[in-house]
A and B are shown apart, each in its own frame.
Chain A
Amino acid sequence: MNKKRVAIAFVILCILLLVLVVLNLCMGSVFLAPKAVFEAFHAGDPDALNLVIIRDIRLPRILAAVILGGALGLSGYLLQTFFNNPIVGPFVLGISSGAKLAVAIALIGLLSAGVHISQGGMILSAFTGALIAMGFVLLLSLKVKNPSILVVCGIMIGYICSAVTDFVVTFADDSNIVNLHNWSMGSFSGVNLKDVRIMAIVVFVCLVFVFFLSKPIGAYRLGEAYAANMGVHVKALRVALILTSSLLAGCVTAFAGPISFVGIAIPHLVKSLCKTSSPRIMIPACFLGGSVITLFCDGIARTVFAPTELSVSSVTAVFLVPVVIVMMLKKKTKSGVA
């Protein structure tokens, strides 16, 4: 582990994050120069248009992208650790689709029953869906040891979930579908500060918890057998990994819908940036990396064709799929894994 390289990597990530935050504050359907942003905060007029734009629209969105992006990166890292497989992520394994299905059932079912669903309820249903999908994947992983086949199974589970979602949607009222459709596109729009508070609490608790798992995760890199021999409670660790990554993925899906590829690609990008796999480094770095990429993609999603917004997922796919492909090719030629 080269400490200097790691330090530089963190500095780069922080600078990128800062720059992106500023850019995202400034850009949008109304362009505000950094100076205008600064002034809006200091003018003190709570109803000034600029301040409303920044405070109620852009800032929550930026924070959501940072927090949920980080959560995705972290969730991907945990899943890759769990499966000891570099090509898994919450989206690939159908976890996001499971969450989406659960949210769809909850939204449509409850709305047609006249009940308004709260954010907490959304998270809960997304988390439940994520866990159920994960449960299926886990069951399969008991039988299927080949990682490639496991990924295929995950994708299949994703398709089944999507199919069921479509089925539910088909027989739902149009008015009930609108929300779901917007949501399932994957978007950070419409997030308010109250939502941000909830997601921040969930994600940061997970982050701290995971950080304290870095010792066993580190040992787990040598494989289950060695880890157990060194004194790791492997079963407990696996349960912790799977629950936290599902909770993180579920949280993201609940607030922003399924966002693809961040979870798979980030750990690899960060690993090659830091040239280490030490969890003490990887955990904060994956979080930061996830934040940076997601913020970057969200910025593009809402500005490039403004005022029309793209789904974040489309942007992340465009940027990150090549990364995943390159990585897979590299792996294949190097060691024959994956």
Chain B
Amino acid sequence: MKGLSSENLAIGYDRILIDQICLSVKEGEILTLIGPNGCGKSTLLKTLTGQLKKKGGVIFLGEENRENIGIKETAKMMSMVTTERIHPELMTCAEVVEAGRYPYTGNLGILSEEDTKKVRLAMEMTNTLDLANRDFMTLSDGQKQRILLAKAICQEPEILILDEPTSYLDIRYKIEILMQIKKLAKEQNMAVIMSLHELEIAMRISDYVVALGDGKILGTGRVEEIFKEEFIRKLYGIEGEDISLIGTVPWMEETKSGDAKNFSDSGKEAVSADCSKPEAKPEKEMNLPKETKRPKVIMIQGTMSNAGKSIIAAGLCRIFTNDGYRVAPFKSQNMALNSYVTEDGKEMGRAQVVQAECCKRKPDVNMNPILLKPTGVTGSQVIVGGKVQGNMSAGEYFRQKTSYIPAIMEAFETLSGDADIIVVEGAGSPVEMNLKKDDIVNMGLAKLLDASVLLVGDIDRGGIFAQLLGTLDLLDEEERKRVKGLIVNKFRGDKSLFDSGVEFLKERGKTDVLGVVPYMQLEIDDEDSLAEKLGQSKLNQNCKIDVSVIRLPYISNFTDFYPFAQLPEVSLRFVNRPDEIGNTDLLILPGSKNTIHDLKWLKTHGFDALIRNKKEEGCVILGICGGFQMLGESVWDPDHVESSQSDSETGLGLLAMKTVLGKEKKQVLFEGNIKGAADELELLKGISVNGYEIHMGETLATGDITEFTSGQTGYYSGNVYGTYVHGLFDSREVLKGFALALAKKKNVELEIDEVLDYADYREAQYEALSANLRESLDMEKIYKILGLKT
């Protein structure tokens, strides 16, 4: 990534003026600093350029710490135009611009032909060629500014820093220079950071805005989040004052979007229009251009993890969709091992996939811009916009999470273009007081998106009153105002018994209770491996066929096995200890986020011997992805992708193959079939399979093994099968085939009348869910909260 970012930067002259500054500008983006005089804009810019020593924190140019970059290299990456007036004696404009080539020329600073060309180009861009031979000191301020900009351009920076580039300029030069700056960002792909006093201009030219004031950063975000009249008035200390002198400006609430629109050029304009209140009168709304209509945003937050946020959100998505709205789910950040790969190869959380399916739209990575996949006790792999950014410790992530706000907002904006309602899901509890600062998942996000919040409590785990009322109590006043309703989830038994509870909640919480949702047995993808599902480990005596999945510590994609839930005569268990396995019919080694670690775990917990015994006994053994890799002879990790200690780990040796882990992650959808299988499983042969692959590493056959899934994605040998393909059981034929084959092997009869493709099965589940919610929730009120019904 090119561009500039800062982490916990502290700035100031003698003492710290502002600290904890986290900024990020990427190539092609314009970030504008606004704020009253003396708020530290220039100080910040000077610190970024290195004129002032920083008081703490880190500045990154690209991905490199600025301190580790030499002064010459820095000069090639970053150039600036400051407010300082310079007085070079007897220098022509051409000479001033030529100075920009400094980092590129030799010891005596003599320009090559190439350099001269670049100087010319820069002057052409800034319309200053005719000034080339003029003495710099004889120029007007506007001309000087353009020459300095030309100088900065011909330094060929990736990052351009401008301190009030429009000061001293009349309106014509102002427009000219800002158009040039915009061009530089958009066409030359520079990252631009500048300070501006003209708010209207800042609104139109910026991608992101940072508002400084009062010794701290008062706001960071996209234009539409910052330019609200109330905020601007507060920022500049003109609350309640008469500002009619400056006329009508786009950030004033009274301004109708139409006025703002007239001024804007392209691209950003929806932004200025966004500042008009969404609750415009209906007839007015009709006149507005379509893209300016903002979707209604409702956010589901929970009192704790697994309170049922995902499910409620999914159900609401389906209800809204069934009622004819265009709906999209959104969750800024997911912490889950169990990721989904979209068609374009990007990773996102499962819960939003389910919700997308409830909205009847394709899963889109914008629905879940940040995905954290735990890789160890405190570390996570950070995936932003579907792309892996690297591993970070929890602390590291926490410190720089505000720098992801732009990515979150961008994703949200993309979704907004095509939705009437966006259902946002929070994460964990909104009142984790130690983590609340700079929150970007719960109330912080609600503020950014201006969302109404519904709070869900889990009565099944007890303490519902404390959960809901305690959460409300810990919210600050502004946050509490956002909470428009409470939902009691997972209620078992007769609802009327809880009527008095509802009254109490209403009274004490001073908030409406929107409904009591019964405990639902639904087979819907759960958010993460903490889900209750994994609790089941006991053998179900009533079932004819038993499927056991080893509960690896870093298990991933465990939803691969959920389709079994459709078969009442087949039990699915997740086992933690070898002795829990018993007489199982199918032993599955699931995917793992850390194959080597989990392989060691298998060995230290005595699973390895047991698996070999099971093989001898004739039990069918199936490895999927990481589990597949473990079945081989060895797993190599030369680049230390998964383990920092060991280079390789001996596998279980059940399949003659070896795996080499690499840094490259393979993420593709799989379309193929089952090429071969032995004995009873032979009936699976030829069944087509639609799934997906997601793994880091390649597996090569080293001996006598036969292809299982096509395209060398899986192998088998005897009764041991392995494949990279996830979602194997999603197709009903595979599911049914496996069940029947296992039954045949065991010599039992299965009554399988109707098995659905897992997709159809889920569809049925979603409908059941939405019907259930519609019954228990007061949908009228929810629509009122959204402002869609009066």
A338 CB to closest chain B CB (Å) equals 10
Instruction: Indicate with 1 or 0, residue by residue over B78-112, a CB within 8 angstroms of chain A CB atoms.
Output: 11101010111111100110011011010111000
* A212 / chain B contacts, CB cutoff of 8 Å: 107-108
B102 touches A232 (CB 8 A): yes
The residues of A that contact B102 with a CB separation of less than 8 Å are 215, 219, 230-232
A-B contact pairs, 12 of them (CB 8 A): A219-B109, A221-B99, A225-B49, A228-B51, A229-B49, A231-B102, A231-B103, A233-B71, A276-B90, A276-B91, A277-B89, A335-B87
With contact pairs A215-B107, A215-B109, A278-B95 given, residues A230 and B90 touching in the complex (Cβ less than 8 Å):
no
Which residues in A have their C-beta under 8 angstroms from that of B137?
335
Shortest CB-to-CB span from B575 to chain A, Å, is 63
**B92 and A1 contact, CB distance less than 8 A:** yes
Chain A 241-278: CB-based contact to B (< 8 A → 1; otherwise 0): 00000000000000000000000000000010001111
Distance between Cα atoms of A278 and B95 in the complex (Å): 9
B583-616 vs A, CB cutoff 8 Å, 1 = contact: the mask equals: 0000000000000000000000000000000000
Does any Cβ of A come within 8 Å of B24's Cβ? Answer: no
Chain A residue with the shortest CB-CB distance to B88: A221
Q: Please list the 8 inter-chain residue pairs (A to B) with the smallest Cβ-Cβ separation, ordered nearest first.
A: A231-B75, A215-B109, A230-B102, A231-B103, A277-B90, A231-B72, A221-B88, A223-B86
Pairwise interchain contact B107-A277, C-beta atoms closer than 8 A: no
B582 at interface by CB-CB < 8 Å: no
- Seen from chain A, the residues whose Cβ lies within 8 Å of a Cβ on chain B are 1, 84, 86, 212, 214-215, 218-219, 221-223, 225-226, 228-233, 271, 275-278, 280, 335, 337
Give B133 Cβ to nearest chain A Cβ, in Å.
9
B90 touches A222 (CB 8 A): no
B74 interfacial contact with A, CB 8 Å:
yes
B278 interface hit (Cβ, 8 Å): no
**Residue in contact with B108 in the complex, picked from A215, A219, A231, A271, CB distance below 8 Å:** A215
Given A229-B49, A231-B74, residue A222 in contact with residue B88 (CB < 8 A): yes
**CB distance A214 to B88 under 8 Å?**
no
Chain A residue nearest in CB terms to B71: A231
User: B50 an interface residue at 8 Å Cβ cutoff?
Assistant: yes
Residues in B with CB closer than 8 Å to A232 are 71, 102
Least Cβ distance of A176 to chain B in Å? Answer: 46
- Please name the residue on chain A nearest to B52 by beta carbon: A225
**Docked-complex contact B51 and A230, CB < 8 angstroms:** no
Task: Report A72 CB to chain B, min CB distance, Å.
Answer: 20
Interface size class of B (residues with CB under 8 A): 20 to 34
Q: Which residues of A contact B32 (CB under 8 A)?
A: none
Cβ-defined contact, B87 with A225, below 8 A:
no
Contact A229 B80 (CB under 8 A): yes
For the complex formed, measure the closest distance between the CB of A274 and the CB atoms of chain B, giving whole angstroms. Answer: 8
Query: What chain A residues lie within 8 Å of B95 (beta carbons)?
Result: 1, 278
Report if A229-B79 is in contact (Cβ < 8 Å); known contacts: A278-B95, A335-B137.
yes
A84 vs B86: C-alpha distance when bound (angstroms): 11
When the two chains form their complex, are residues A230 and B155 in contact, meaning their CB atoms are under 8 A apart? yes
Which residue on chain A has the smallest CB distance to residue B100?
Answer: A230
Closest-CB distance, B517 to chain A (whole angstroms): 61
Assess whether A229 is in contact with B72, with CB atoms less than 8 Å apart.
no
Determine the chain B residues whose CB is within 8 A of the CB of A275 once the complex forms.
90
* A230-B103 CB under 8 A given contacts A1-B95, A221-B89, A225-B82: yes
Distance in angstroms from B90 CB to nearest chain A CB is 4
- State the CA gap A271–B91 with chains docked (Å): 11
Contact flag A219-B79 (CB < 8 Å), given A271-B90, A277-B90: no
- B198-240 vs A, CB cutoff 8 Å, 1 = contact: the mask equals 0000000000000000000000000000000000000000000
Instruction: Name the A residues within 8 Å of B72 (CB-CB).
Output: 231
Q: Inside 8 A of B151's CB, which chain A residues have their CB?
A: 222, 226
Q: Which residues of A contact B105 (CB under 8 A)?
A: 215
By secondary structure, the B interface counts as mixed
A277, B90: Cα distance in complex, Å: 5
Instruction: Assess whether A222 is in contact with B96, with CB atoms less than 8 Å apart.
Output: yes
B109-121 interface bits toward A, Cβ cutoff 8 Å, 1 = contact, 0 = none:
1000000000000
A228-B71 contact given A1-B92, A1-B95, A221-B91, CB 8 Å threshold: yes
- Which residues from chain A contact B87 at a C-beta distance below 8 Å? 84, 335, 337
CB-CB nearest in chain A for B76: A231
Pick the contact of B86: A226, A231, A271 (CB < 8 A): A226
Question: Could you say which residues of chain A place their CB within 8 Å of the CB of B103?
Answer: 230-231
Establish whether residues A214 and B90, one from each chain, have CB atoms under 8 Å apart when the complex forms.
Answer: no
Give the chain A neighbours of B75 by CB distance below 8 A. 229-231
Judging by beta carbons under 8 Å apart, are A277 and B91 in contact? Answer: yes
Chain B residues 478 to 494 lying within 8 A of chain A, measured CB to CB, are none
Chain A residues, Cβ within 8 Å of B86: 222-223, 226
| Cα of A277 to Cα of B91 in the assembled complex, Å | 6
A229 touches which of B78, B92, B96, B108 (Cβ 8 Å): B78
B194 CB, min distance to chain A CBs, angstroms: 15
Given A223-B84, A230-B100: A271 and B51 interface contact (C-beta under 8 Å): no
Assembly CA distance A214 to B102 (angstroms): 12
Closest chain B residue to A211, Cβ basis: B108
Give the shortest distance, in Å, between B70 (CB) and chain A (any CB). Answer: 8
Task: Taking A218-B99, A225-B80 as given, write out 5 further A-B residue pairs in contact, using a Cβ cutoff of 8 Å, ordered by the A residue number.
Answer: A225-B46, A225-B82, A229-B51, A229-B79, A277-B88
Complex CA gap A150/B109 in Å reads: 32
Question: Which chain B positions have C-beta within 8 A of A218?
Answer: 99, 109
Inter-chain CA distance A325–B102, complex, in Å, is: 35
Digit string of B250-262 for contact with A (CB within 8 Å is 1, else 0)?
A: 0000000000000
Contacts of B82 in A (CB 8 A): 225-226
Chain B residues with Cβ under 8 A from A337's Cβ?
87
Least CB separation from A274: chain B residue: B90
CB of A225 within 8 A of CB of B71, answer no
Q: Return chain B residues, CB-CB under 8 Å to A280.
A: 108-109
Looking across the interface, which residue of chain B has its beta carbon closest to that of A80? B89
Which of chain B's residues 53-72 have a Cβ closer than 8 Å to chain A? 71-72
Smallest Cβ distance from A275 to chain B, in angstroms?
A: 6
* Cα separation A222 to B88 with both chains bound (whole Å): 6
CB of A1, distance to nearest CB on chain B (Å): 6
Of all chain B residues, the one with the shortest Cβ separation from A223 is B86
- Beta-carbon nearest neighbor of A226 in chain B: B86
Interfacial chain A residues near B78, Cβ < 8 Å = 229
Instruction: Give the residues in chain A near B49, CB-CB below 8 Å.
Output: 225, 229
Given A1-B92, A230-B103; A225-B108 close (CB under 8 Å): no
Q: Which residue from chain A places its CB closest to the CB of B106 in the assembled complex?
A: A215
CB distance from A222 to the nearest CB of B (A): 5
Nearest residue, chain B, Cβ from A277: B90
What CA separation (Å) do A232 and B103 show in the bound complex? 8
Complex: A232 Cα to B88 Cα, angstroms: 16
Q: A215 CA to B137 CA in the complex, in Å? A: 21
Please measure, in the bound complex, the distance between the C-alpha atom of A280 and the C-alpha atom of B107, giving whole angstroms. Answer: 12
B555 to chain A minimum Cβ distance, whole angstroms, is: 52
Expressed in whole angstroms, the Cα–Cα distance for A229 and B81 within the complex equals 10
Which chain B residues border A215 with CB–CB below 8 Å?
102, 105, 107-109
Complex: A336 Cα to B100 Cα, angstroms: 27
A335 to B71, CA, bound (A): 33
Q: Are B109 and A214 in contact (CB under 8 A)?
A: yes
**In this complex, what residue of A is CB-closest to B72?**
A231
CA distance A230 to B76 in the complex (A): 8
Residue of A at shortest CB range from B101?
A: A230
CA distance A229 to B95 in the complex (A): 17
* Residues on B with beta carbons closer than 8 Å to the beta carbon of A229: 49-51, 75, 78-80
**Shortest distance from the beta carbon of A98 to any chain B beta carbon, whole Å:** 28
Contact A214 B108 (CB under 8 A): yes
Contact B90 A228 (CB under 8 A): no
One of B76, B84, B99 near A225 (C-beta < 8 A): B84
CA distance A271 to B99 in the complex (A): 19
B391 to chain A, nearest CB (A): 34
Which of B71, B74, B151 has its CB near the most chain A CB atoms (within 10 A)? B71
B505 CB to closest chain A CB (Å) equals 61
Instruction: List chain A residues, Cβ under 8 A from B100.
Output: 230
Shortest beta-carbon distance from A220 to chain B in Å: 10
- Rounded to whole Å, the gap between the CB of B42 and the closest CB of chain A is 11
Taking the closest CB of chain A, its distance from the CB of B115, in whole angstroms, is 13
